[in-house]
């Protein structure tokens, strides 16, 4: 699965349909609790809207089905997908206290077909999808929209979600669920997929584990030590992006390849030779590349960590992401093995504190920044790596031309995501549209590529 700006994809023309989800008649749905991520996300959206400062963004996916496509079976598959995951059936409301949600029963969700007409060119398809993807309202159910561009010999299936109900690893889950359900319905069968865990149950467990967390709790000591070194809760991205404080810029969204599949095998060998794994080597390489571009000798960043695990949540839609702080030494002259020893120790320490939710730590330790209506107060140093080869349905990603699309209208920061596919290692970057930011992003990308190739070739930075 490739992560790429939807505006950079060539879609064939076709007839565009949407299956819009709606609430059917039924009993009042039961109430549930939300996760800390959802609560913060909802409050940011509310405050931004009240300030007339909407944060336009989306996360979406597209994939291909060979045709001719059975539209009735496809509509059934899309409805099945939404009914299958309780988080997609959740409606949110901010009453007194924490954000709560009502959970519609599966049979309370129905779909209505909307005909968007024929798109006569690739540009027209892209424009229509891009506009549709922006139409998900983070404050109004449904927080998902689904449809397809249908042709005589194929279809591009698409769906887009608000972040409250999906993270990056949810996108391949959605592709797998919809594609497999479609094949079943087209063959006259009922889908037989692995049972997904309940995101509502996950949220209950998270709340119960952290109900008593307070500012003097020893579980926050690691965060406090990290803040002492970083000087703040959020570690600043240390390179110059040429942005003015408080100003939003048009966002640049680029995807590039860093290593081939064969080069990734060389990098894996280099990591194993010093007792590490590929994600450790990538983290070490990013830290060294930033230092080579003028960053500090100690690399401090925030790192998203999946809460899905290998149990039932491995097949669940939702926002199963915690964010943890990590710091390690990358000074000039340090060997790959020495940096990897520091990375390994930092990750081991991080795992001892993985049950502390990032949002709760943020609320308790940086309350002023927590109350702002933006996620980040400035450009934050960030490391994210996903191996899409390990996700459900990965064996079909190439055949289905599966793609994830992350988009933001504006930016005052620099974010990049590393992701691995069957074709190698890739990087999707979103950054503020200034000349200086472009220079910085491209320079870091080139230095990171050279650093990784050096490691893959002979195991040195």
Instruction: Please check the confidence at residue 73 and state whether its pLDDT lies above 80.
Output: yes
Mean pLDDT across the stretch 92-113? 87
How wide is the angle at C-alpha 251 spanned by C-alphas 247 and 256, nearest 5°?
145
Residues 35-61: pLDDT tens digits? 999 999 998 888 888 777 766 899 999
Choice among 22-26, 193-197, 357-361 with the minimum mean pLDDT: 22-26
- Tokens (6 digits) for 242: 């040429």
Instruction: Please check the confidence at residue 375 and state whether its pLDDT lies above 80.
Output: no
CA distances from 308 to 6, 167, 169, 197, 411 (A): 27, 11, 9, 9, 29
Burial class (CB in 10 A: 0-12, 13-18, 19+), 121: exposed
| Mean pLDDT for all residues in the chain | 94
Q: Can you give the pTM of this predicted structure?
A: 0.96
- Tokens (6 digits) for 210: 């952290």
How many C-beta atoms lie closer than 10 Å to residue 367's C-beta?
11
In this predicted structure, what is the pLDDT of residue 310?
Answer: 80
Alpha-carbon span 344 to 68, nearest angstrom: 51
Choice among 112-121, 243-252, 334-343, 428-437 with the minimum mean pLDDT: 243-252
Mean pLDDT across the stretch 355-361? 95
Domain with CATH 3.30.559.10 in the chain: 2-203
Mean pLDDT across the stretch 272-297? 98
Residues in the chain: 461
In this predicted structure, what is the pLDDT of residue 246?
Answer: 80
How many C-beta atoms lie closer than 10 Å to residue 348's C-beta?
9
> At 311, is the pLDDT very low, low, confident or very high (cuts 50, 70, 90)?
confident
More confident residue, 220 or 248: 220
Residues 315-330: pLDDT tens digits? 999 999 999 999 999 9
- Tokens (6 digits) for 176: 């797998």
Alpha-carbon span 23 to 102, nearest angstrom: 12
Paired sense of beta strands 403-408 and 2-3, if any: parallel
In this predicted structure, what is the pLDDT of residue 297?
Answer: 98
Alpha-carbon span 100 to 115, nearest angstrom: 34
Q: Helix 358-365 to helix 221-230 angle, to the nearest 10 degrees?
A: 60
In this predicted structure, what is the pLDDT of residue 48?
Answer: 80
CA distances from 290 to 235, 351, 362 (A): 14, 24, 25
Domain with CATH 3.30.559.30 in the chain: 215-388+408-458
In this predicted structure, what is the pLDDT of residue 96?
Answer: 62
Class assignment of domain 2-203? alpha beta
Architecture of the structural domain at 215-388+408-458: 2-Layer Sandwich (3.30)
The alpha carbon of residue 354 and the mean position of all alpha carbons in its chain are separated, in whole angstroms, by: 19
In this predicted structure, what is the pLDDT of residue 350?
Answer: 92
């Amino acid at each position: 699965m490739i992560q790429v700006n939807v505006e950079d994809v060539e879609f064939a023309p076709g007839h565009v349909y949407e299956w819009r989800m709606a609430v059917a008649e039924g009993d009042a749905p039961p109430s549930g609790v939300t996760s800390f991520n959802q609560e913060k996300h909802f409050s940011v959206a509310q405050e931004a809207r009240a300030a007339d400062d909407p944060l336009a963004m989306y996360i979406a996916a597209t994939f291909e089905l060979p045709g001719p496509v059975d539209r009735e079976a496809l509509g059934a598959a899309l409805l099945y997908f939404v009914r299958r995951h309780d988080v997609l059936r959740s409606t949110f409301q901010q009453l007194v206290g924490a954000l709560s949600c009502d959970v519609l029963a599966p049979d309370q969700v129905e779909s209505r077909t909307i005909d968007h007409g024929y798109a006569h060119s690739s540009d027209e398809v892209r424009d229509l999808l891009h506009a549709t993807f922006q139409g998900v309202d983070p404050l109004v159910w449904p927080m998902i929209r689904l449809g397809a561009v249908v042709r005589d010999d194929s279809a591009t299936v698409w769906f887009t979600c608000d972040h409250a109900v999906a993270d990056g690893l949810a996108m391949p889950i959605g592709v797998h669920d919809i594609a497999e359900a479609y094949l079943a319905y087209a063959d006259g069968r009922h889908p037989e997929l692995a049972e997904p865990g309940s995101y509502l149950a996950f949220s209950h467990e998270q709340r119960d584990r952290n109900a008593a967390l307070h500012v003097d709790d020893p579980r926050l000591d690691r965060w406090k030590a990290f803040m002492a070194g970083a000087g703040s809760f959020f570690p600043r991205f240390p390179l110059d992006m040429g942005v003015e404080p408080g100003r939003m810029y048009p966002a640049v969204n680029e995807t590039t390849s860093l290593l081939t599949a064969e080069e990734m095998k060389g990098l894996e060998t280099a990591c194993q030779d010093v007792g590490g794994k590929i994600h450790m080597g990538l983290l070490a390489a990013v830290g060294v590349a930033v230092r080579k571009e003028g960053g500090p000798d100690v690399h401090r960043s925030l790192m998203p960590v999946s809460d899905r695990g290998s149990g039932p949540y491995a097949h669940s839609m939702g926002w199963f992401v915690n964010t943890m702080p990590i710091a390690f030494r990358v000074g000039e002259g340090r060997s790959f093995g020495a940096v990897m020893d520091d990375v390994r120790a930092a990750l081991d320490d991080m795992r001892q504190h993985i049950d502390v939710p990032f949002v709760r730590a943020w609320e308790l330790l940086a309350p002023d920044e927590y109350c702002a209506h933006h996620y980040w107060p400035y450009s934050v140093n960030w490391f994210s790596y996903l191996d899409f080869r390990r996700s459900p349905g990965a064996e079909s990603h190439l055949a289905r031309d599966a793609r994830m699309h992350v988009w933001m209208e504006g930016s005052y920061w620099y974010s990049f995501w590393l992701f691995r596919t069957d074709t190698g290692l890739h990087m999707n970057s979103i950054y503020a549209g200034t000349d200086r930011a472009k220079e910085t992003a491209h320079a870091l990308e080139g230095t990171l590529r050279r650093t990784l190739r050096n490691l893959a070739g002979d195991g040195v930075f």
